[in-house]
Copies of this chain bind each other. A is one copy, B any other.
Amino acid sequence: MADNYVARGKEYFLDLQERLCGALERLDGGGRFATDEWESPSGGGCSRVLAGGKVLEKAGVNFSHVSGDHLPASATAAHPQLAECRFEALGVSLVVHPHNPYVPTSHANVRMFVAEQAGQELHWWFGGGYDLTPCYGFTEDCRHWHRTAAAACTPFGETLYPRFKQWCDDYFYLPHRGEPRGVGGLFFDDLKVWGFDTTLGFVKSVGDSFMPAYLPIAERRMGMDYGERERQFQLYRRGRYAEFNLVHDRGTLFGLQSGGRIESILMSLPPLVRWEYDYRPEPGSAEARLTEYFLQARDWLGEEG
């Protein structure tokens, strides 16, 4: 049964990876993904990276499938009884770092865990979601993003979007900055509320909705003029992204703890990043508005959104 579940997850994840890469290549209109198949003692994967494209400064779409005799601590917060279990973990992660500062950075991930305990029933669960990290905020983009996310969830229940939206706001938060990483989206983990088929169906609905959520925003912003000021602000904001991924991200930590391939795990880091001591945006500027308005937990589907 574990093998059957894993095979069905894997089939979807590999197909999704292919479709995500195709859609990003069409968006870029020039760059092509390179493919690295890799193996490690704990498993293997396929890393696909597009670097130096026309629209995308760097994009990565990774599939990985690892296993081990002991589920790492980063994956067992909700499953302490499984800490000593043999496990398999597989999934797809995407990150997009565009050139144009008006095109938001974005991240998506769908993943599946299977843990086996001798003499007990099979444990499986899913995780995933996607989130948007603009340098310059646009209300219509945030609304479109969250509407698409909500629409992917709603067929499976009315409560899912609000819960997973909140979880995303809670998760992608930099406590040392007192600041969210971006404008949120969806985040879920330890998901096993229905049977396997329906749960996988939900994960597919989320995974398949990423491109309809992201592409219209990228297409709307990629032609906008920008100069050195916007570029410098983008490089500065990417510092927050690097801080989150290296200090807080459980996915990065899981990769490091489970013997993943380091270049694939850290592929999420931005291509170029700037840190400036005690930078403060000009009051009233678009740069100030990012943190003052857009990087605040907000109901993007309600009146105020």
Q: Which of B36, B263, B276 contacts A271 (CB 8 A)?
A: B276
Q: Which of B58, B177, B235, B262 contacts A262 (CB 8 A)?
A: B177
| Residues from chain B with Cβ under 8 Å of A278 in the complex | 36, 49, 263
A256 within 8 A of B: yes
The reply to whether A60 and B273 form a contact with Cβ atoms under 8 Å apart is no
The reply to whether A256 and B51 form a contact with Cβ atoms under 8 Å apart is no
Closest to A262 in B: B176
A277, B239: Cα distance in complex, Å: 18
A235, B235: Cα distance in complex, Å: 13
CB proximity of A76 to chain B, nearest CB, Å:
20
| Residues from chain B with Cβ under 8 Å of A239 in the complex | 269
CB proximity of A73 to chain B, nearest CB, Å:
16
A274 within 8 A of B: yes
A151 within 8 A of B: no
| Residues from chain B with Cβ under 8 Å of A142 in the complex | none
Given contacts A246-B243, A246-B247, A247-B247, contact A273 B272 (CB under 8 A): yes
Number of interface residues of A (CB under 8 A): 29
A266 within 8 A of B: yes
The reply to whether A277 and B246 form a contact with Cβ atoms under 8 Å apart is no
Q: Which of B177, B242, B263, B272 contacts A235 (CB 8 A)?
A: B272
Closest to A260 in B: B176
CB proximity of A147 to chain B, nearest CB, Å:
33
The reply to whether A277 and B267 form a contact with Cβ atoms under 8 Å apart is yes
Instruction: Return the CB mask of A267-301 against B: 1 if under 8 Å, else 0.
Output: 10111111111100000000000000000000000
CB proximity of A265 to chain B, nearest CB, Å:
8
Closest to A243 in B: B246
The reply to whether A60 and B277 form a contact with Cβ atoms under 8 Å apart is yes
Instruction: Enumerate chain A interface residues (CB-CB to B < 8 A).
Output: 36, 47, 49, 51, 58, 60, 176-177, 235, 239, 242-243, 246-247, 256, 262-263, 266-267, 269-278
Return the 10 tightest CB-CB contacts between A and B, nearest first.
A246-B246, A269-B275, A263-B278, A273-B273, A49-B277, A176-B256, A246-B247, A272-B274, A176-B262, A267-B277
> What are 30 contact pairs spanning A and B, CB under 8 A?
A36-B278, A47-B277, A49-B277, A49-B278, A51-B276, A51-B277, A58-B277, A60-B277, A176-B256, A176-B262, A177-B262, A235-B272, A239-B269, A242-B242, A242-B273, A243-B246, A243-B266, A246-B246, A247-B247, A266-B275, A267-B277, A270-B275, A271-B274, A271-B275, A272-B272, A272-B273, A272-B274, A273-B273, A273-B274, A273-B275
Q: What 7 new A-B contacts, CB under 8 Å, besides A263-B278, A272-B274, A273-B275?
A: A243-B266, A266-B275, A270-B275, A271-B275, A272-B272, A272-B273, A272-B275
